[in-house]
C-alpha cells in the first residue's frame, strides 16, 4: 500500500523505562538557557522536574510526597511550631552509596536530614510507637500529679497567696 512509503528517517524509538519508572520532562541549566530533556523517574516521585529545575543532570533527586509530618507547639508559645519532623521517600540516582540510589526514607527536622533504609525506617517506626506510649504515660502522671496537688500553676498559687495576704 502507498501508506507504507512513509520515510522512517525521522522516527526514533524510545527505550523502555525500567520497571516502576516512566520518562518525564526535566529542565536543565540556568533560567534563560534551559533545555528540556526526558529522564527516567520512579513512579513514586511527585516532583515536577521542570518547575524544580536543576543546573546539572547529576543534581536531579527524586522525591515522594511528604506523607509523614508531625509537629508540636508549646504551652508558653501558642501558635508556634516548636518541634517538627517530616519524612518522605527519596532517591539520588547518582549517589555513590547504592542505598542512597535506591528508594529510602528521608527524615528531616528542618535542620538535619537523616537517610533511612526501609529496614531502619521500620525500626524507627517501632521506636516512635514506644515513644508515643511513654508520652501517654507522662501525660497521665502529670494529670494525676495535678489532681493530687490541686492547683498545678505555681504562679497562680503565688498570686492567690498575695491576694489572701492583702498584698495584691
Ligand atoms: Zn522524579
pTM: 0.75
Q: Is the pLDDT of residue 83 over 70?
A: yes
Report the separation in Å between the CA atom of 6 and the middle of ligand 1, taken as the mean of its atom positions.
36
The dihedral through the CA atoms of 86, 91, 94, 95 has a sign that is positive
CB contact burial 72-100 (16+ within 10 A = b; e otherwise): eeeeeeeeeeeeeebbbbbbbbeeeeeeb
Q: Which three cell numbers stand for residue 131?
A: 515513644
Predicted confidence band of residue 12 (pLDDT cuts 50, 70, 90): confident
Question: What single string gives the DSSP state of each residue in 104-135?
Answer: EEEEE-SS-EEEE-HHHHHHHHHHHHHHHHHH
What is the C-alpha separation between 86 and 112, in angstroms, rounded? 11
Between 121 and 13, the more confident residue is 121
Predicted confidence band of residue 66 (pLDDT cuts 50, 70, 90): confident
pLDDT of residue 168: 39
pLDDT of residue 1: 47
Report the separation in Å between the CA atom of 15 and the middle of ligand 1, taken as the mean of its atom positions.
18
What is the C-alpha separation between 13 and 131, in angstroms, rounded? 54
Report the separation in Å between the CA atom of 110 and the middle of ligand 1, taken as the mean of its atom positions.
22
pLDDT of residue 15: 87
Predicted confidence band of residue 5 (pLDDT cuts 50, 70, 90): low
Which residues have beta carbons under 5 A from ligand 1 (an ion)? 41, 45, 47, 62
pLDDT of residue 79: 87
Residue 112 backbone dihedrals phi, psi, to 5 degrees = -120, 135
Report the separation in Å between the CA atom of 12 and the middle of ligand 1, taken as the mean of its atom positions.
23
Strand partners, 84: 71
pLDDT in tens, 44-54: 999 999 999 99
Q: Is the pLDDT of residue 120 over 60?
A: yes
Between 147 and 155, the more confident residue is 147
Report the separation in Å between the CA atom of 16 and the middle of ligand 1, taken as the mean of its atom positions.
16
Q: Which segment of 10-14, 90-94, 100-104 scores lowest on mean pLDDT?
A: 10-14
Residue ranges per structural domain of the chain: 14-60, 63-116, 118-168
Amino acid at each position: 500500500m502507498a501508506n507504507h512509503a512513509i520515510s522512517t528517517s525521522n522516527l526514533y524509538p524510545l527505550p523502555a523505562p525500567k520497571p516502576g519508572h516512566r520518562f518525564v520532562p526535566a529542565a536543565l541549566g540556568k533560567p534563560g538557557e534551559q533545555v528540556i530533556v526526558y529522564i527516567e523517574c520512579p513512579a513514586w516521585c511527585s516532583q515536577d522536574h521542570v518547575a524544580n529545575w536543576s543546573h546539572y543532570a547529576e543534581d536531579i533527586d527524586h522525591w515522594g510526597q511528604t506523607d509523614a509530618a508531625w509537629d508540636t507547639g508549646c504551652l508558653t508559645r501558642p501558635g508556634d511550631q516548636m518541634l517538627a519532623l517530616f519524612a518522605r521517600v527519596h532517591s539520588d540516582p547518582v549517589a555513590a552509596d547504592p542505598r542512597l540510589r535506591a528508594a529510602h526514607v528521608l527524615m528531616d527536622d528542618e535542620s538535619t536530614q537523616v537517610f533511612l533504609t526501609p529496614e531502619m525506617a521500620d525500626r524507627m517506626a517501632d521506636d516512635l510507637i514506644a515513644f508515643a506510649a511513654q508520652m501517654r504515660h507522662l501525660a497521665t502522671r502529670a494529670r494525676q500529679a495535678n489532681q493530687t496537688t490541686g492547683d498545678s500553676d505555681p504562679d497562680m498559687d503565688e498570686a492567690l497567696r498575695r491576694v489572701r495576704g492583702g498584698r495584691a
